[in-house]
């Protein structure tokens, strides 16, 4: 399984919703314009707009590393206005595991799939 799937969950800090929406829009623009291996990048808000879930699928670990590099400062900024958790599904490369270590993702390795 070369594809990497991610689920990112954000609890948006009180009073930061509008800033969050601006940064999220910038993330989406960057992905559309610069990423070459992003297959899915969907953002969902709960009804109260206090939590967001981002569903992501990438061609492979290299595509995730490209995505992280492309987001750069925007990613850094959005990390400061939310409490984030990350789940990685697949077999991330050692380089991706190292690059993501500071985010403390939970990694789920393939067990069964079609």
Q: What is the pLDDT along the chain (114 residues), one digit of tens a residue?
A: 799 999 999 999 999 999 999 999 999 999 999 999 999 999 999 999 999 999 999 999 999 999 999 999 999 999 999 999 999 999 999 999 999 999 999 999 999 988
pTM: 0.94
Q: Does residue 102 belong to any structural domain of this protein?
A: yes
Residue 44 located in a structural domain: yes
Tell me whether residue 113 is in a domain. Answer: no
Residue 88 structural domain: 4-108
CATH number reported for the structural domain that contains residue 89 in this entry: 3.30.70.100
Identify the bridge partners of residue 89 per DSSP, sorted by sequence position: 5, 108
Does residue 114 belong to any structural domain of this protein? no
The total number of structural domains that make up the chain: 1
Distances (CA, A) of 17 to 12, 69, 92: 7, 24, 32
């Amino acid at each position: 399984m070369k594809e990497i799937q991610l689920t990112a969950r954000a609890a948006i800090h009180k009073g930061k919703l509008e800033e969050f929406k601006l940064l999220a829009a910038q993330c989406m623009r960057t992905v559309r314009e610069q990423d070459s291996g992003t297959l899915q990048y969907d953002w969902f808000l709960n009804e109260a707009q206090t939590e967001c879930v981002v569903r992501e699928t990438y061609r492979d670990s290299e595509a995730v590393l490209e995505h992280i590099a492309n987001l750069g400062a925007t990613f850094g900024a959005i990390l400061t206005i939310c409490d984030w958790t990350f789940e990685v599904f697949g077999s991330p490369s050692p380089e991706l595991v190292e690059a993501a270590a500071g985010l403390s993702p939970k990694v789920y390795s393939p067990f069964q799939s079609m």
